[in-house]
A and B are shown apart, each in its own frame.
Chain A
Amino acid sequence: MIFCGLMGSMVDIFLPVYQRYAFDHFVGLGTLDTLPYYIAAFVATVAFSAVANYIAMSSAFRTEVEINRDLRDSVFSHLQTLGFSYYNGNSVGYIHSRVMSDTSKIGSLVSWSLMDGVWHLTYLLGAVVVMLVVNARLALLVLTIAPLIVLMFSIFQGKLIRSNREVREMNSIITSDFNEGITGAKTVKTLVIEDKMQRTLQEHTVKIRKKALRVAHLRGLFSSTINIGSSIALAIVLWQGGYIAEDEVGTFSLFMSYAQGIIEPMRWIIDAVSDLITCQVNIERVDKILHTEPDVVDTPEVVAKYGTVFEPKTENFEPMIGDIEIKDVTFTYPDGHEPVLEHFSLKIPFGTNVAIVGETGAGKSTLVNLICRFYDVNEGAILIDGKDVRERSQNWLHSNVGYVLQTPHLFSGSVRENLLYGNPNATDEEINRALALVSADEVVNKLERGLDSDVGEGGDLLSTGEKQLISFARAILCDPKLLILDEATASVDTLTEAKIQSAIDQVIQGRTSIVIAHRLSTVKNADCILVVKNGKIVERGTHKELLDNNGYYRALYTRQYEDEKTKALLG
């Protein structure tokens, strides 16, 4: 690539040489005898440079896309290993643009700056050499403008980069203005603050114009300087080199061409340097992701036996029985100040059904996060089938646990692809059985293309209730010994509600299950209920015990009971 870039610039270097020959030989001597050779040589040079340019460009492109691809792939892969604390601390939009946009900027910079740099540097050097050979004195005179221009450029570049960044920042502020005005349209209307919002926008549009004008001012000076630089070079050639034209028009014209030609490369080289400076931010961001350590790491011994998430050694995976024991566990969230669990112990033998209850935001998912090993405990241990979870790989654990989320998340693709997500080897028969078990078969039958119907982005073509049922089927297709279920609070119609309820009753049969519960019937039938308040488990026991206890559970339960009853009555 570099070699071809080098070759590619040859034509541009030699073009003036051809001109010189045309002047000196044809015009100067008044003969056309060598014309056929001249044409042949010229065509050969052009063809040569075209091929070289072609190869240089395609390889620069290839380098660019390949660097981009490899960077993207490795950032994406690394993200798959990072813990939830990373995802909680960074918005999806932020992480997404690290994967997609930062990586692509790096690739294009590396390949194109390299290619352009080589091209222009070659041209510059070539031109200087040719000029020096032809007429050293004139060449040095022409070159006196170079340091001047480089100095001017470096002064402007820094300011330009800064001003450009300011414009971009303003631009994103304006975008968020529109975002607010449009997504908050109802609120804006009811508050009658259309004028206020308009004024805010106007402040920003005035500001961005001011900043853009500053950029234009700098750019204007910048490009004008380039132009005048080339005119100065021309003037020098005319003034000091004019006499040459008397005998050698060709040399004169050659200098004229180079005087104009060397300005562009100088600008390019400076541009490349400033691109590098700008790109540093992107590189740093990508680097930061790649160097973020996952919260939960498998020990080397575990990896040796069970493999990594990307290359699991499934042949060494033991089947799970489903006995869980939480042993004297103390845990503080990485971003938290005080422990949410202190010396907490609980035995959950196979087949037990545990319900966790509490108000929204009380911290009900902590225990689930620990059992699934999304976080590691600070003290104590979590044992599954009598073995510390840290002694087996996360991948082993996760492939043996069924998890139904509160807000069901489906992936773009067909219903079948989604159902097979946890168990790619399930047969259609198994699929149908699973669907029937949670009465999701009706949902699928209703769809035009059955199992092959597209669910849309994030499953948006299905209703919330339908997504819920599909996600139940997805979980039990893995036939997990341990099922974790986060009940939905979203309101669905009564019929779907009843279906979901019976689906839950079905799926927890014959498994160990931990349910973050919002429904009374789920809670009532649980073998053990944990009551969470302000992040901590404040009460535990069976439904009856807790009611008799007359504590927080009773108040919580009463309100839930009333709400459900009211909802049923109002229809």
Chain B
Amino acid sequence: MKKRSVYWVWEFLKGTKAAFLIGIASTLITALTGMLSPQIIRLSVDQIILGEPTDDVGINSFLESFGGAAYLKENLWIPALILLAVAAVAFLTNYLYRVSNTYGAETLTKNMREKLFDRVSHLPFSWHMKNHTGDIIQRSTSDVETVKNFVSEQLTGIFRIIIMVVMSLSFMFSMNWKMALIAASCMPLILIYSLVFHKKIKTAFTECDESEGKLSAMAQENLTGVRVVRAFGREGYEKDKFVKYDRFYTGLWTKLAKIMARFWASNDIITGLEILIVMVSGAVFTVNGELSVGEYIAFISYNEMLLWPIRMLGRMLSEMSKAGVSLNRIVYIMDSEPERDKEGAGECDMTGDIAFEHVNFAYENCPELLHDVSFRVKAGTTVGIMGGTGSGKSTLMLLLDKVYDLEDPDSKITVGGVDIRDVRTEYLRSNIGIVLQEPYLFSRTLAENIGIKREGTTLEEIREAAKAAALDETIESFTDGYDTFVGERGVTLSGGQKQRTAIARALTGNTPVLIFDDSLSAVDTETDAKIRRSLEKKFGTATVFLISHRITTLKKADLILVLDHGTIKESGTHEELVAQGGIYAEVYRAQTDGVDEL
């Protein structure tokens, strides 16, 4: 384990240590009581029932305090009750162990999840782009689960096993060292056998997992490609393919099953022989008078107590390596550098002018996307941006919102005269309402989605925003209205409905800066016009950025920019640009006299 892992484990353990200590202590007591019962029975058999004298002072005074061996023999309910008393203690400690251990493990998991979530949401977006979404989700869910299972089921178990082994052995040694030695010498053999086996099935398991993955992926592809399968009439082929994959997978399992069955069978033989050795040598010792009958009985009990944990230990050690791998995968996320504001970063006048100065930008390992982009937006005005696919329009906006950071030291974006590098990210973002090109909705109700930006947004405000986005009527047509659940467990919205929801969501923020990144591309013509009209009223004093390729959307903007391959080709008002006769003018012509040209 790396040093960082130790640090994070310590962090995750916060608030769990007491619980784990109680857990370990109670499992200790439980184990101890488990050891006591055979002793009580031995005492009852040897001293009470068989009446053998002993020179152990402790035992004698113990017997005396209950009225002596002879009295106890007539009243066997007393030792039986003592046995029950010990069991009652075990009842309590076992319960305590379960609860406190679970509390510890669950709190640890809670810490891990919360810290991971917090870290993931504060990692820079460039990190998200670099790492596969599926992989991050896997690390945050199934890896956490693996660690949790190890901690809750195995970790204290290891303590328990060590304690049990140590105690069983010491009881055995205290009774008869020769016998103890015989029993103990078999243990390493059993442990090693179990370890080797678990190593071996691990590879077999991996093979099975991989094969299952293949089978599962095949089924997945078949289901997603169901139209292709049908259209080509290839159902029979798909079925045969699935059956073939399934056969192979099943074959691997059968192989694994054989290994397992062989292990258990041979394990039965080994432990059986071990029991035989202990039983026979015990018998020999007892016959020779080196061991009392009670001790003999106790020995057999202790021996069984030893066998089980040793077998478990092999499994635990192999689980431990699995948990270690998962932990490292979690630590990878925790060790990534989160977004951080520059020291002394503060606020700025968000209602001030916004200026892009010589902005150059390239994504990691990609050619330069934006080159020397400079323009100034007066406070409260509207800017329209037009450009082809990949011309850098969206990136420009994401830079303003600090979703990506400007790397080039000569490039600068200022808001109200302050370099946004010196502005707190959270402050900046909460003052900019942005509607992304591909809007993402959360699995909550529509009302919650629209009002998500600010706590306590009233339904009035939500409805008003929805009206502005021409969404109110659509929502009212749903059975549950604004309480309609969005996403997997609710309705699926069309592309246009999603875009309109995202627009409404941006509007409820009442932010001084608004950005619409091609936000009406999936909306039909009539609705498009309706939204444009209502938005114009809504904008008020806000500074607005509109990305679009539709002249009707851009026409009224105070400044229009035409972006081409990362540089500004044309800029000015609609009239100016039309007069200039450049790309914009051509586009304008194409969009106005349209079809008649044909």
CA distance A393 to B242 in the complex (A): 23
Question: In chain A, residues 178-192, which have Cβ atoms closer than 8 Å to a Cβ of chain B?
Answer: 178-192
Q: Does B231 reach chain A (CB closer than 8 Å)? A: yes
Question: In chain B, residues 364-402, which have Cβ atoms closer than 8 Å to a Cβ of chain A?
Answer: 386-389, 391, 401
In the bound complex, do residue A246 and residue B246 qualify as a contact, i.e. CB atoms below 8 Å apart? Answer: no
CA distance A29 to B513 in the complex (A): 100
Chain A residues, Cβ within 8 Å of B522: 360
- Contact string, A253-275, partner B, CB cutoff 8 A, digits 1/0? 10010000000000000000000
CA distance A230 to B137 in the complex (A): 45
Determine which of A22, A32, A401, A493 lies in contact with B279 in the assembled complex, contact meaning CB atoms within 8 Å.
Answer: A22
Q: Does A442 reach chain B (CB closer than 8 Å)? A: no
In the bound complex, do residue B140 and residue A180 qualify as a contact, i.e. CB atoms below 8 Å apart? Answer: no
Determine which of B117, B228, B235, B525 lies in contact with A197 in the assembled complex, contact meaning CB atoms within 8 Å.
Answer: B117
* Interface window among A319-327, A336-344, A555-563: A555-563
In the bound complex, do residue A54 and residue B264 qualify as a contact, i.e. CB atoms below 8 Å apart? Answer: yes
Q: Does B175 reach chain A (CB closer than 8 Å)? A: no
The 7 A-B residue pairs with the shortest CB-CB distance in the complex, in nearest-first order: A398-B233, A61-B257, A231-B87, A220-B98, A403-B231, A216-B102, A46-B272
In the bound complex, do residue B125 and residue A232 qualify as a contact, i.e. CB atoms below 8 Å apart? Answer: no
CA distance A198 to B120 in the complex (A): 11
Determine which of A231, A405, A409, A547 lies in contact with B90 in the assembled complex, contact meaning CB atoms within 8 Å.
Answer: A231
Question: In chain B, residues 542-597, which have Cβ atoms closer than 8 Å to a Cβ of chain A?
Answer: 549-550, 562, 564-565, 583, 586-587, 590-591, 594-595
Q: Does B9 reach chain A (CB closer than 8 Å)? A: no
* Interface window among B217-225, B318-326, B460-468, B477-485: B217-225
Chain A residues, Cβ within 8 Å of B232: 398-399, 403, 421-422, 478
CA distance A15 to B403 in the complex (A): 71
Given known contacts A43-B273, A58-B257, A570 and B386 CB-to-CB distance under 8 angstroms: yes
In the bound complex, do residue A23 and residue B293 qualify as a contact, i.e. CB atoms below 8 Å apart? Answer: yes
Determine which of B109, B110, B276, B386 lies in contact with A43 in the assembled complex, contact meaning CB atoms within 8 Å.
Answer: B276
- Contact string, B69-107, partner A, CB cutoff 8 A, digits 1/0? 000010011011101101110111011111101110011
Q: Does A110 reach chain B (CB closer than 8 Å)? A: no
In the bound complex, do residue A224 and residue B94 qualify as a contact, i.e. CB atoms below 8 Å apart? Answer: yes
In the bound complex, do residue B287 and residue A213 qualify as a contact, i.e. CB atoms below 8 Å apart? Answer: no
- Chain B interface mostly: helix
Chain B residues, Cβ within 8 Å of A238: 41, 44, 76, 79-80, 83
- Contact string, A18-52, partner B, CB cutoff 8 A, digits 1/0? 11001100110011100100110011011101110
CA distance A80 to B37 in the complex (A): 62
Chain A residues, Cβ within 8 Å of B37: 231, 234
> Distance (Å) between the CB of B294 and the closest chain A CB?
9
> Distance (Å) between the CB of B293 and the closest chain A CB?
5
In the bound complex, do residue B254 and residue A62 qualify as a contact, i.e. CB atoms below 8 Å apart? Answer: yes
Q: Does A235 reach chain B (CB closer than 8 Å)? A: yes
In the bound complex, do residue A232 and residue B133 qualify as a contact, i.e. CB atoms below 8 Å apart? Answer: no
CA distance A38 to B488 in the complex (A): 67
Excluding A31-B287, A46-B269, A395-B235, 8 further A-B contacts by CB distance (< 8 Å) are: A87-B223, A96-B219, A186-B436, A209-B109, A249-B293, A422-B232, A570-B391, A570-B583
Determine which of B215, B220, B246, B282 lies in contact with A22 in the assembled complex, contact meaning CB atoms within 8 Å.
Answer: B282
> Distance (Å) between the CB of B247 and the closest chain A CB?
7
CA distance A561 to B598 in the complex (A): 10
- Chain A, residue nearest B592 (CB): A562
> Distance (Å) between the CB of B242 and the closest chain A CB?
5
Residues of B within 8 A of A (CB): 37, 41, 44-45, 48-50, 73, 76-77, 79-81, 83-84, 86-88, 90-92, 94-99, 101-103, 106-107, 109-110, 113-114, 116-118, 120-122, 125, 128, 133, 136-137, 140-141, 212, 215-239, 242-243, 246-247, 249-250, 253-254, 257-258, 260-262, 264-266, 268-269, 272-273, 275-276, 279-280, 282-284, 286-287, 293, 296-297, 300, 386-389, 391, 401, 403, 426, 429-430, 432, 434, 436, 439-440, 442-443, 452-453, 455, 488, 494-496, 505, 522, 524-525, 549-550, 562, 564-565, 583, 586-587, 590-591, 594-595, 598
CA distance A401 to B231 in the complex (A): 7
In the bound complex, do residue B216 and residue A96 qualify as a contact, i.e. CB atoms below 8 Å apart? Answer: yes
Q: Does A473 reach chain B (CB closer than 8 Å)? A: no
> Distance (Å) between the CB of B517 and the closest chain A CB?
10
A-B contact pairs, 16 of them (CB 8 A): A35-B280, A43-B273, A57-B261, A72-B246, A76-B239, A80-B239, A175-B141, A185-B128, A190-B429, A220-B99, A223-B98, A227-B94, A245-B50, A249-B45, A312-B233, A491-B389
In the bound complex, do residue A360 and residue B495 qualify as a contact, i.e. CB atoms below 8 Å apart? Answer: yes
CA distance A239 to B293 in the complex (A): 18
Q: Does A414 reach chain B (CB closer than 8 Å)? A: no
Q: Does A361 reach chain B (CB closer than 8 Å)? A: yes
In the bound complex, do residue B224 and residue A235 qualify as a contact, i.e. CB atoms below 8 Å apart? Answer: no
Given known contacts A57-B257, A80-B238, A243-B49, A68 and B250 CB-to-CB distance under 8 angstroms: yes
Chain B residues, Cβ within 8 Å of A65: 250, 253-254, 257
- Chain B, residue nearest A563 (CB): B549
In the bound complex, do residue B495 and residue A39 qualify as a contact, i.e. CB atoms below 8 Å apart? Answer: no
CA distance A236 to B122 in the complex (A): 63
In the bound complex, do residue A374 and residue B230 qualify as a contact, i.e. CB atoms below 8 Å apart? Answer: yes
Chain B residues, Cβ within 8 Å of A479: none
- Chain B, residue nearest A212 (CB): B106
In the bound complex, do residue A562 and residue B591 qualify as a contact, i.e. CB atoms below 8 Å apart? Answer: yes
- Contact string, A348-362, partner B, CB cutoff 8 A, digits 1/0? 000000000001110
CA distance A501 to B118 in the complex (A): 48
> Distance (Å) between the CB of A244 and the closest chain B CB?
9
In the bound complex, do residue A235 and residue B106 qualify as a contact, i.e. CB atoms below 8 Å apart? Answer: no
Chain A residues, Cβ within 8 Å of B488: 91, 176
Determine which of A217, A225, A240, A256 lies in contact with B41 in the assembled complex, contact meaning CB atoms within 8 Å.
Answer: A256
CA distance A239 to B76 in the complex (A): 5
Chain A residues, Cβ within 8 Å of B84: 231-232, 235
> Distance (Å) between the CB of B580 and the closest chain A CB?
14
Determine which of B110, B219, B275 lies in contact with A100 in the assembled complex, contact meaning CB atoms within 8 Å.
Answer: B219
Chain B residues, Cβ within 8 Å of A567: 388-389, 549
In the bound complex, do residue A26 and residue B283 qualify as a contact, i.e. CB atoms below 8 Å apart? Answer: yes
CA distance A317 to B273 in the complex (A): 69
Given known contacts A186-B403, A196-B452, A227-B91, A570 and B280 CB-to-CB distance under 8 angstroms: no
In the bound complex, do residue B287 and residue A26 qualify as a contact, i.e. CB atoms below 8 Å apart? Answer: yes
Q: Does A177 reach chain B (CB closer than 8 Å)? A: yes
> Distance (Å) between the CB of B442 and the closest chain A CB?
6
- Chain B, residue nearest A223 (CB): B94
Chain A residues, Cβ within 8 Å of B141: 174-175, 178
Chain A residues, Cβ within 8 Å of B276: 39, 42-43, 46
> Distance (Å) between the CB of A291 and the closest chain B CB?
19
In the bound complex, do residue B228 and residue A405 qualify as a contact, i.e. CB atoms below 8 Å apart? Answer: yes
- Contact string, A539-571, partner B, CB cutoff 8 A, digits 1/0? 000000001000000110111011101110111
CA distance A217 to B488 in the complex (A): 33
Q: Does A293 reach chain B (CB closer than 8 Å)? A: no
- Chain A, residue nearest B118 (CB): A198
Determine which of B117, B218, B505 lies in contact with A201 in the assembled complex, contact meaning CB atoms within 8 Å.
Answer: B117
In the bound complex, do residue B257 and residue A197 qualify as a contact, i.e. CB atoms below 8 Å apart? Answer: no
In the bound complex, do residue A92 and residue B224 qualify as a contact, i.e. CB atoms below 8 Å apart? Answer: yes
In the bound complex, do residue A458 and residue B221 qualify as a contact, i.e. CB atoms below 8 Å apart? Answer: yes
In the bound complex, do residue B254 and residue A61 qualify as a contact, i.e. CB atoms below 8 Å apart? Answer: yes
- Contact string, A205-233, partner B, CB cutoff 8 A, digits 1/0? 11011001101110111011101100110
- Chain B, residue nearest A241 (CB): B76
In the bound complex, do residue A53 and residue B265 qualify as a contact, i.e. CB atoms below 8 Å apart? Answer: yes
- Chain B, residue nearest A176 (CB): B443
Given known contacts A232-B84, A249-B293, A570-B564, A30 and B94 CB-to-CB distance under 8 angstroms: no
CA distance A198 to B329 in the complex (A): 21
In the bound complex, do residue B107 and residue A209 qualify as a contact, i.e. CB atoms below 8 Å apart? Answer: yes
Chain B residues, Cβ within 8 Å of A72: 242, 246
In the bound complex, do residue A409 and residue B224 qualify as a contact, i.e. CB atoms below 8 Å apart? Answer: yes
> Distance (Å) between the CB of B332 and the closest chain A CB?
14
- Chain B, residue nearest A100 (CB): B216
In the bound complex, do residue B494 and residue A178 qualify as a contact, i.e. CB atoms below 8 Å apart? Answer: no
Determine which of B103, B121, B586 lies in contact with A569 in the assembled complex, contact meaning CB atoms within 8 Å.
Answer: B586
Chain A residues, Cβ within 8 Å of B549: 563, 566-567, 570
